[in-house]
Structure 1
Amino acid sequence: MNGLETPPSGCMIVVVGPSGAGKDSLMAQAADRLAGRSDIAFVRRMVTRAGDAGGEAHQPVSHDEFEAAAAAGGFAVFWRAHGHGYGIPASTIGEVQAGCCLVANGSRSSLGDFADVYPSLAVILVTADHDCLVARLVARGRETEAEIRARLDRPEPSLPAELAIYTVDNSGDLTEAGRRFARLVEAIADRQA
């Protein structure tokens, strides 16, 4: 670097929203659509859930492995919800510092932690109407309908006002929502360049 150049500017895009909104589906579509972009990557988080549980492509770990990684500083950000542990690998900090725009499935309750770790942060809130959420969660078969309704009736955590927050409604056609989601990820990444 000759002193006149600026260091690479990467970013972290955290995807949040209620269970059943389709975050994993939209991220998978965007990963396919944006595969030619070397400056955009999708984070594979570590989750204390079986690898064949459906949904996102994650790195399955036991609860003991998760706790050991958390204690050893193996996560940039981690949280626990619904009986599982979720962790974003610590290596993502260096990737963002090197100029990469990363997309990670996150948690609304952990956005403050994300903001503390990643100076350049954007949030994509994926939404869907209530009936759509119920139908999708029932189709998963992981919880009873009563458990699903109780989960959806809980108050939503508020989103920090100081963050850049974008919304994608995924109540309708998945392909169209996937296009909008991918275009939004590209626009955020291009703004960082």
Structure 2
Amino acid sequence: MIVVVGPSGAGKDSLMELAATCLARRSDIVFVRRMVTRAGDAGGEAHQPISHDEFEATAAAGGFAVSWRAHGHGYGIPAPTIEAIRAGRCLVANGSRTALADFAAIYPTLAVIQVTADRECLIARLTARGRETAAEIRARVDRPKPSLPVGLTVYTVDNSGDLSEAGRRFAELVEAIADRHARG
């Protein structure tokens, strides 16, 4: 399991979309669509929309391998991903830094790709989304970053510049991690 983390506006979804296109020939690499309590047409990541009530029921029934709540939404990685990993697939999922310990407990071969971008870039991207006020954006960008659990394999991709270049580096990294895992 490769979990992609980073601040809002770093471009995680864009990089994952580019990598999914670049790596479409690789049937062993699967990009997971997480379930989110947000409308399907809300913009941003391609996700499976789920109501808050459905989210709670799915969580209670063990339908998520990992789930967490952030920014007023629930996020879940479907439980069948556990079997996909056991079957030898390399999965790539958009995660959360605050849920990494839970990911590590479920997926013992976890790798983390931390996507970063400079402050000005984050502010510009969040402003372009139009979902928050300028004050909310500054508060989001300036809040303390959660520390990552000790012992995880963490790679970093800076997405402050050209998206196609960062996308190429991201796809190459995903492919290298998958290949290392396949070799055991």
Instruction: Kindly state the Cα deviation for residue 154 of structure 1 after the two structures are TM-superposed.
Output: 1.0
Residue deviations 1:80-116 (CA, integer Å, cap 9, x gap):
0000000000000000000000000000000000000
2:29 corresponds to which residue? Answer: 40
Instruction: Kindly state the Cα deviation for residue 161 of structure 1 after the two structures are TM-superposed.
Output: 2.4
1:9 corresponds to which residue? Answer: none
Matching of residues 135-146 of structure 1 within 5 Å:
135-146=124-135
Greater than 4 Å deviation, 4+ residue runs: none
TM-score, with structure 2 as normaliser: 0.98
TM-score, with structure 1 as normaliser: 0.94
Q: Any unmatched runs of 5+ in structure 2?
A: none
Q: Percent identity?
A: 80
- RMSD (CA atoms): 0.4
Q: Please state whether the residue corresponding to 2:173 is helix, strand or coil.
A: helix
2:66 pairs with one of 77, 81, 84: 77
Work out the CA distance in 2 between the residues paired with 1:151 and 1:90: 30
Q: Any unmatched runs of 5+ in structure 1?
A: 1-11
Tell which structure's C-alpha radius of gyration is larger: 1
Work out the CA distance in 2 between the residues paired with 1:178 and 1:138: 22
Is 1:184 aligned to 2:173, yes or no? yes
Instruction: Kindly state the Cα deviation for residue 153 of structure 1 after the two structures are TM-superposed.
Output: 1.3
2:11 corresponds to which residue? Answer: 22
Work out the CA distance in 2 between the residues paired with 1:182 and 1:47: 24
Residue deviations 1:141-160 (CA, integer Å, cap 9, x gap):
11111111111111100011
Residue deviations 1:27-77 (CA, integer Å, cap 9, x gap):
000000000001000000000001011111100011001001000000000
2:101 corresponds to which residue? Answer: 112
1:134 corresponds to which residue? Answer: 123
Work out the CA distance in 1 between the residues paired with 2:124 and 2:58: 35
1:59 corresponds to which residue? Answer: 48
1:121 pairs with one of 82, 95, 110: 110
Size of the aligned set, in residue pairs, is 182
